[in-house]
Chains A and B, each alone.
Chain A
Amino acid sequence: MRKFTLAIALIAPMLGHAAWAEDTVKIGYIDPLSGGGASVGEGGLKTFQYLAEELNAKGGILGHKVEIVPFDNKTNPQESLVQAQKAIDAGVRYITQGNGSSVGLALEDFVNKHNTRNPGKEVLYFNYAAVDPSMTNEKCNYWHFRWDASSDIKMEALTSYMKDIPSIKKVYLINQDYSFGQSVRSDARKMLAAKRSDVEIVGDELHPLLKVTDFSPYIAKIKASGADSVITGNWGQDIALLLKAAADAGLKVNWYTYYAGGAGGPTAIKQTGLDHQVFQLTEGFANSGNQAAMDYEKAFRAKVNLSLWYPRAVNEMRMFKAAAEKANSIEPVKVAAALEDLKLEVLDGGTGFMRKDDHQFFQPIYVSSFGKLAANEPFDEENTGWGWHLVSKVDTPQAMVSTTCKMARP
């Protein structure tokens, strides 16, 4: 009898757990939680966990509890596939990932193969930050959805802004040596040549991804080139260390970046003393002026103790919920169909939509600069006393680029 009670005592919680698991929508978060990308990976994880809690507090998605399950991929494509398989084995049907397009491309291919081989057990890949344009062009895939603007959309917005600044004459490109960095450099060359043929590219550097500990030699080269502006897609420690080395050497140029706002970036910019000379491209930012977004930012910071780097993560989760409700199902195949051409009021204001042709989300893009805060700008970054300031906004219709995607639909 005692044995029986013991067995019940052991098994009962498991049964309860199993019942829960069926009710839960598990989202596998596959991103770096160690190595050089850990700082951004951690930030992303905390953001998604916050969003899941927020959803759960309001009854989850169609009554299902949302759970974020973290997997560490060390920014390594091979490791990501191992982790993705682990995630699927653990009952995950939605994968979200962002840091590293090399990882993104591997996952996109993996999810496609998995879905072909396992009909009825499809997995969706929600991409919140891997911005290599090929992911929605020649390598596009029905099971992949991207909420961040691809690198060519960002470059289109950036060069549209730069073309009206006559003081830009010599541009230096420095990027990480992998698919994303290479697409930044080639887009920059192509679009600058089209919009500002008088601008000279005085340097075009590729360095290893998340491996460099001291950027002073690169800064010396930028200085020697006589550049007045630098364009870089660097992220993670690579942007923080790059700016830090520039600060140490006292290099005074304008920086046009994709991710200067990531961990360590703002502190380094403050050290450079480059007041409103570092620019960033985002789909939203703390001081955007949109009251709802600013209230959201305030609540987020109070709880998570980080800036909201990823307004697109908010858009992604809200849209996931909207699509599930539209399909009245959390079944990935139905959610995927519902996501196509779905419209959403984005966090920082304006309408975005998920284009059916390539599963790229289009939304307003902002150019902001980092420096002393104006009166109506309440948010600083990393306690520097400096924050992001609106420079230019590109609305959804102008932020659209064409695609070469020929999608095979199930």
Chain B
Amino acid sequence: MNPDPITNPLGPALRDFFISADASGHKRAYLQISEALQNPLPRVNDWRQVEYAFTRLFVGPKSLEAPPFASVYLETEPLVMGPTTMMVRSVYEMMGLVSPWKNALPEDHVSLELDAALVMENAAQQGGSAELDELRQFFVCRHMAAWIPAFVKRVSQAESAHPAIVRAAKLAGQWVDDQAVLINAQRNQHLKQGGWNG
């Protein structure tokens, strides 16, 4: 059974983990992830090593081992700010939202997408609408579900894979899967009830 989306802090913690700037941020988010799970995550002794691995995977300055951008996994050429980033931007804008780092950080960064999925989940809990349902179906079940597994795989197989980061990535993959199941279940329920009235 899926955890309660409003009160369960796993999604926000995963979001925060992948956008943390330093070891203290990684640690804070990791502990939040751990708290959100029934079985706590293994203890990390050296957060500095997590930070080094994190930068090699997602930040730089060297060629990224696992770029955290959807574009890299969905497009034929490895570039950001192209069709995928713009599509994701348009999804945010449809929700009346914008990235605080517009045109500085690509909108298809994993943490921004997790945040959008959380916003959608929150809105659905508050009543939702047919448009939101459609948007959520597309964004989470088709878009995120299409690239996050490839991202998780790349993190897992990367040279600099650190167990804590691999664990977080796998949890993010699982979280998206769970969301997709939830969304489809809610959608079926609404269809059974005769659709949206709004």
A binds B: no
> What residues make up the interface of A, taking CB atoms closer than 8 Å to B?
none
> What residues make up the interface of B, taking CB atoms closer than 8 Å to A?
none
